[in-house]
Structure 1
Amino acid sequence: MKRNILPFGIIAIVGIFISIIVFYVGVHQRDDIRLAEENGGEPVEEQGEVATDPEEIFSSSCASCHGQDLSGGAGPDLTSVGSSLSAEDIHNIIMNGQGAMPGGLVGNEEADVLAEWLSEMK
């Protein structure tokens, strides 16, 4: 009985290509992991990617919990946060977290921009 080996050949070729793709992706991830380890385990931030518009930063990083209009939701109301906290206090909360809020959701420069903007909310 003669068996057709064509399906087995196709499976072998596809397997080889998948192995090459996985290897190629893994090599680049190894470099990213090494750079992160050299940076103390923190992800490496690209230069020039710091947002300077506080409303844009808030919309992308904070609005899901604090509401698009700062009125609260899963997180507290921030419409008058500047009347009780200074920009430095707000910056520390953004970077270190407080309660259920995790710290480090934005970079240090973006936290400065957000803290300054939120401290004006009175």
Structure 2
Amino acid sequence: MKNKLIKMLVGIGLVMGLAACGGGGEDTASGGTDSAHADAEKIYNQKCSSCHGDNLKGGMGPELTAVGANYSQDEIADIIQNGQGAMPAGLISGDDLDKVAEWLATKK
């Protein structure tokens, strides 16, 4: 129990540290779907992959490979914005939040 708590606290510390170090969302000129998905994947890699894994396979956080089969884009955005379980709220906001939620909603 004690080890699990320590691992969770270290994980949360890493997430918060990475969130503070993550770059802002950079807009691309093309604005196409592929570009938006590339932007979302970049944001995910900066802010989420430390807990949810490089390939959405999970780690400290749950696997997200089929998250869109269980949650709508709006529900995913709400979870990111407000947090859920051990996941802290507000790691991504604004346009970046919308891009990541849209991208994750396609994972079915």
TM-score under structure 2 normalisation?
0.66
- Asked if residue 65 in structure 1 is aligned to residue 40 in structure 2, the reply is no
Partner of 2:5: none
Question: Which is bigger in relative contact order (C-alpha 8 A, separation at least 6)?
Answer: 2
Of all paired residues, the percent bearing the same amino acid is: 49
Moved more, 65-74 or 107-116: 107-116
Whole-angstrom CA distance in 1 between matches of 2:86 and 2:41? 22
Partner residue of 1:56 out of 21, 29, 42: 42
C-alpha deviations, 1:73-121, integer Å up to 9, x for none?
Answer: 0000000000010000000000000000001011221110000000000
Partner residue of 1:104 out of 67, 83, 90: 90
Contact 1:95/1:108, CA 8 A, preserved across alignment: no
- Asked if residue 82 in structure 1 is aligned to residue 68 in structure 2, the reply is yes
Structure 1 unaligned spans of 5+: 1-48
Letter in 2 for 1:102: P
C-alpha deviations, 1:58-85, integer Å up to 9, x for none?
Answer: 0000000000000000000000000010
Contact 1:94/1:104, CA 8 A, preserved across alignment: yes
Structure 2 unaligned spans of 5+: 1-23, 28-38
Whole-angstrom CA distance in 2 between matches of 1:118 and 1:51? 19
Larger Rg: 1
